[in-house]
Structure 1
Amino acid sequence: MFLYLNGDYIKSEEAAISPFDHGFLYGLGLFETFRTYHGHPFLLDDHFHRLHEGAKAIGIELPEYKREDTCRIIHQLLELNNLEDGYFRWNVSAGEREIGLSHENYFSPNTIVIVKPLPQQTPREKEAVFLQTTRNTPEGTNRLKSHHFLNNLLGKRELGDQPGTEGIFLTENGEIAEGIVSNIYWVKKGTLYTPSEDSGALNGITRQFILKLAETTGLNTEEGLYGPESLLSAEEAFISNSIQEITALSSVKGRKLPGANGCSFKLISAEYKKHLTSLWSRLELTGRGID
């Protein structure tokens, strides 16, 4: 496979960065995962808005985002790898500096863009279980899409090889946070609930889009801190991420749910699919551009 590294397209086995990169030494790095639909990178502007906000928070200086330049890299990688569409990881690490914590900004980050084939099928339904591994608190004010992924890895190791199941993190206080690689939602009496960022959950790009989409379909939305009993008493529930899209939950902790037959799931999924080949930002749903 070919990847992109700091302006060059090279074979993956030829890629190398310095061992003094502070993304490697101290986890000072960020990434975005997204996919294309008939060549269109869905919600690309939202992904890069988050990437730039995260970089600013940890002192990585990035060049101004230009959609045309970014799309050129995306389409070149698709062509080089003989792919119509792909699963992209756009990775930025702080760059090379001497060993030791630094208080100064990083002006020469490494940018690595990796593409791989999309999964042939993504499940429409999964079961959910609560993990014993608790969700750690963010390193800063809010959780960033950063290289600090040990908590997720420990959750995955606890769950094991169960592709039809998603593990759900609870906070130290026993509140629902998110899945190992997903945000979670449930519906009760016409209201869509999802844990707030105060739970330590990542404010996923697909999460933001679903909340905006729910408003257009007439569903009320509520973000907050909720115990497991709130989810266990739900009428239906689902999870989301940018690659697997929206996946219905057929059960939570053994309690059966309607899964893909849930009315709200079907409504939101149908609306979601209408925009996959056109939208650059969730804000276009209300006629706005990215802030």
Structure 2
Amino acid sequence: MLIYNLNGEFVDAADANLACNDSAVLFGDSLFETFKAQDGHIQFLDQHLDRLELGARLLNFPCDRPALRSALLETAARLTAPMARLRLTLSRGPMTSLAFPSAVSGHFFINAGPYQEPDSAELQQGVICVFAPNRRVNPLSHLPQLKRGNYADCLYAADYARRKGAREALFNEDGQVLEGATSNLFMIKNDTLLTPPAGELVLAGIIRRQVLLAAADRGLSAEERPISEEDLFNADEAFLTNSLIGLLPIAQIENRSMKRGLWTARLATAVAQAAAAVFGAENGTNRKNF
């Protein structure tokens, strides 16, 4: 069952619409976050809202955090699927010119429904990746660090991967591998965890941060530095992360097989434990399995 929440009100699919002059419709001018919920409980809720709030401040979006949090929790409570996906989108509201509206109104809407996690074959054997045929629209912009609705470059790359029979497309800027169309990238080499630095070119992913924390807790040294194609192909293991897939091992990039190791599974377990601990801290409970 799909659930729609528009500005805090639950609506039918036919009524879950924005006006044709909304900034999100006209220009893709929106911010969003994608959440994973298990048994109606949202993982890393406040970390997602922290990032959304940062983007709203930087781009001058209306953002009523308490109202958004309440709407998300109410929506999650209605979910019946054991595993679900929620997407929260912020819009600036109607625009009649290229100037941002002087009156800060805006809209938010939530789409929620069942989510099918990666199957056992993907988790055990890994997934196929390809290099995206396109570059980011403006790789030097500070905006890639924000979750923006203007997602054409990522959508094009993700569709390319699907047409090639791959799970993910990796952005490659002048020989430096940045991240996936929908994921962050990690690799292990000589018992060191490597990932491209977040900021101008790479999104500061929620699970990305949890992986770095888990590595520190387990004595695995980590470096945030550029990763070349050669670095990646010579990795001892490599994996993707995002809030829905968690950690997903990479088995092949283009036509080259990747090595497999033990750290991906160890870090995946650690991130799952962190999700349970964060939920317990926020809600005064102790969940062993999130």
Distance 1:200 1:2 in 2: 33
> Which residues in structure 2 correspond to 1:129-168 (within 5 Å)?
129-136=130-137, 137=139, 139-140=141-142, 142-161=144-163, 164-168=166-170
Gap change, CA 1:131 and 1:63, over 3 Å in 2: closer
Distance 2:67 2:279 in 1: 12
Alignment partner of 1:108 is 2:110: no
Equivalent residue of 1:275, what SS?
A: helix
Give the number of equivalent residue pairs.
276
Partner of 2:278: 279
Q: What's the % identity of the aligned pairs?
A: 24
Amino acid at match of 1:27: G
1:188 Cα shift?
0.6
Partner of 1:263: 262
User: Is the contact made by 1:62 and 1:107 (CA closer than 8 Å) also made in structure 2?
Assistant: no
Partner of 2:286: none
C-alpha distance after superposition, 1:191-237 (max 9, x if no partner): 11111135612111111111111111111111122211111111110
Alignment partner of 1:12 is 2:10: no
- TM-score with structure 1 length normalisation? 0.86
Partner of 1:44: 45
Partner of 2:89: 91
Amino acid at match of 1:22: S
> Which residues in structure 2 correspond to 1:116-265 (within 5 Å)?
116-119=113-116, 121-122=118-119, 123-124=122-123, 125-136=126-137, 137=139, 139-140=141-142, 142-161=144-163, 164-171=166-173, 173-198=174-199, 200-259=201-260, 262-265=261-264
**Structure of greater relative contact order (alpha carbons < 8 Å, 6+ residues apart):** 1
Equivalent residue of 2:179, what SS?
A: strand
1:140 Cα shift?
3.3
Equivalent residue of 1:265, what SS?
A: helix
Distance 1:231 1:22 in 2: 39
Gap change, CA 1:253 and 1:161, over 3 Å in 2: closer
Which 5+ residue runs of structure 1 have no aligned equivalent? Answer: 283-291
- TM-score with structure 2 length normalisation? 0.86
Partner of 1:289: none
Partner of 2:288: none
For the aligned residue pairs, the C-alpha RMSD in angstroms reads 2.5
1:116 Cα shift?
1.4
Amino acid at match of 2:255: G
Partner of 1:288: none
1:268 Cα shift?
0.6
Gap change, CA 1:83 and 1:254, over 3 Å in 2: same
Distance 2:250 2:59 in 1: 35
Amino acid at match of 1:219: L
Gap change, CA 1:231 and 1:9, over 3 Å in 2: same
C-alpha distance after superposition, 1:161-184 (max 9, x if no partner): 35653211111x221111121111
User: Is the contact made by 1:135 and 1:177 (CA closer than 8 Å) also made in structure 2?
Assistant: no
Partner of 1:285: none
Gap change, CA 1:68 and 1:147, over 3 Å in 2: closer
1:71 Cα shift?
4.9
Which 5+ residue runs of structure 2 have no aligned equivalent? Answer: 282-290
1:18 Cα shift?
1.2
